[in-house]
């Protein structure tokens, strides 16, 4: 058990990557607070996790856009577990897929507000709510979640990619500030790789929803060739949240880059054949 006596908050942990991380941390002996916006999702995830892990897990509704919600989560965690030694700022979403040129200025304003506010400002809000407690403890391990387009250009997901690029830059800059302090607080950035989750289910396809079927078929193909394994990817986080980690400001992957490049080349050939036939 690598996380015995550890305590964690994981944002956006009722489904997908956050939920898997909650399971993995609990299995390693950590006490975990789960949360997301939807009360019913929190209740369902909590009752399933409690069956296996009992009082080691608590959960509350929390919107990372709201600093008040985050403060409540920190207070409840300290009340229940005595500390918040780990934060995984994982909550994120995407609401639009397609070329930027098809978005009207009104659409840009609306989508950018939702996506950047949740994915980027949500990370800042979460960290800002937890940092005073971590400084008080003189200890903390923070993980932020990067994503597609953050480290290389990606079409059709411009706003999402910008939000994730911001997360990487913010995390690296904050790492410099943390390194200059006496308290042992570190931040690192998790790149999960492409994993099939609910992330795409609330996406609007532009220029029109007619693209949806074709895009979904392509996505299945992409996931088949370069999709990662949820548990394998999430397990890569553990070495960065244990006390002895030396890393700070480092982006680490939940997948193998050489394997991804090899499979992406296979995928390209299949896509080419599809276009020809």
Ligand X SMILES: NC(=O)c1ccc[n+]([C@@H]2O[C@H](COP(=O)([O-])OP(=O)(O)OC[C@H]3O[C@@H](n4cnc5c(N)ncnc54)[C@H](OP(=O)(O)O)[C@@H]3O)[C@@H](O)[C@H]2O)c1
Catalytic one of 111, 160, 205, 240: 160
Q: How far is the CB of 244 from ligand X (least distance, A)?
A: 26
Tokens of residue 42, six digits:
């929190």
Should residue 149 be labelled a site residue for ligand X when binding is judged by CB under 6 A? no
Q: How far is the CB of 194 from ligand X (least distance, A)?
A: 4
Q: How far is the CB of 212 from ligand X (least distance, A)?
A: 18
Should residue 64 be labelled a site residue for ligand X when binding is judged by CB under 6 A? yes
Should residue 92 be labelled a site residue for ligand X when binding is judged by CB under 6 A? yes
CB nearer to ligand X: pick between 15 and 235: 15
The alpha helices in 93-206, defined as continuous H runs, are: 105-116, 122-137, 158-179
User: Which position among 125, 145, 161, 171 is part of the footprint of ligand X (CB under 6 A)?
Assistant: 145
Should residue 126 be labelled a site residue for ligand X when binding is judged by CB under 6 A? no
User: Which position among 10, 168, 175, 195 is part of the footprint of ligand X (CB under 6 A)?
Assistant: 195
The set of residues, in sequence order, having a beta carbon less than 8 Å from that of 235 and lying 6+ positions away, is 24
Tokens of residue 146, six digits:
């990067």
Name the burial class of residue 251, with classes exposed (0-12), middle (13-18) and buried (19+) by CB atoms within 10 angstroms of its CB: middle
Binding range to ligand X, per CB under 6 A, among 21-29, 71-79, 89-97, 128-136 = 89-97
Should residue 144 be labelled a site residue for ligand X when binding is judged by CB under 6 A? no
CB nearer to ligand X: pick between 5 and 169: 169
Q: How far is the CB of 42 from ligand X (least distance, A)?
A: 7
Name the burial class of residue 211, with classes exposed (0-12), middle (13-18) and buried (19+) by CB atoms within 10 angstroms of its CB: middle
User: Which position among 5, 38, 47, 256 is part of the footprint of ligand X (CB under 6 A)?
Assistant: 38
Spatial contact of 164 and 119, defined as CB atoms under 8 Å apart? yes
Should residue 199 be labelled a site residue for ligand X when binding is judged by CB under 6 A? yes
Reduced to 3 states, what is the DSSP secondary structure of residue 89? strand
Concerning whether 160 is annotated as a catalytic residue, the answer is yes
CB nearer to ligand X: pick between 127 and 199: 199
Distance from first CA to last CA of the chain, Å, rounded? 53
State the Cα–Cα distance between residues 25 and 34, nearest whole angstrom.
11
Site string for ligand X, 96-125 (x = CB under 6 A): ----------------------x---x---
Q: How far is CA 76 from CA 35, 85, 88, 247, in A?
A: 12, 14, 16, 29
Cβ atoms within 10 A of the Cβ of 197, count?
15
Tokens of residue 145, six digits:
């979640």
State the Cα–Cα distance between residues 175 and 168, nearest whole angstrom.
11
Rule CB under 6 A: which residues touch ligand X?
A: 11-12, 14-18, 36-38, 41, 62-65, 90-93, 118, 122, 145, 147-148, 192, 194-195, 197-199
Active site residues: 160
């Amino acid at each position: 058990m690598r996380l015995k006596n550890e305590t964690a908050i994981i944002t956006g942990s009722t489904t997908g990557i956050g939920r898997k991380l909650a399971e993995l941390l609990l299995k390693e002996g950590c006490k975990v607070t789960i949360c997301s916006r939807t009360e019913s999702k929190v209740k369902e995830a909590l009752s399933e996790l409690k069956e296996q892990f009992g009082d080691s897990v608590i959960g509350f509704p929390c919107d990372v856009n709201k600093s008040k919600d985050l403060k409540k989560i920190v207070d409840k965690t300290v009340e229940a577990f005595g500390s918040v030694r780990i934060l995984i700022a994982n909550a994120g979403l995407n609401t639009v897929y397609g070329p930027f040129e098809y978005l009207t200025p009104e659409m840009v304003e609306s989508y950018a507000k939702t996506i950047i506010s949740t994915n980027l400002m949500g990370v800042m809000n979460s960290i800002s709510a937890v940092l005073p407690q971590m400084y008080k403890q003189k200890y903390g391990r923070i993980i932020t979640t990067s994503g597609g387009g953050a480290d290389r250009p990606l079409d059709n997901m411009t706003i999402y990619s910008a939000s994730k690029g911001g997360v990487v830059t913010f995390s690296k800059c904050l790492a410099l500030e943390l390194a200059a302090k006496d308290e042992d607080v570190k931040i690192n950035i998790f790149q999960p790789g492409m994993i099939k989750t609910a992330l795409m289910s609330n996406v609007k396809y532009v220029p029109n929803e007619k693209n949806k079927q074709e895009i979904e078929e392509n996505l299945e193909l992409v996931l088949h060739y370069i999709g990662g394994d949820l548990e394998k990817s999430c397990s890569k986080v553990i070495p960065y949240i244990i006390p002895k980690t030396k890393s700070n400001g480092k982006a680490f992957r939940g997948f193998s880059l050489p394997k991804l490049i090899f499979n992406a080349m296979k995928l390209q050939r299949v896509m080419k054949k599809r276009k020809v036939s």
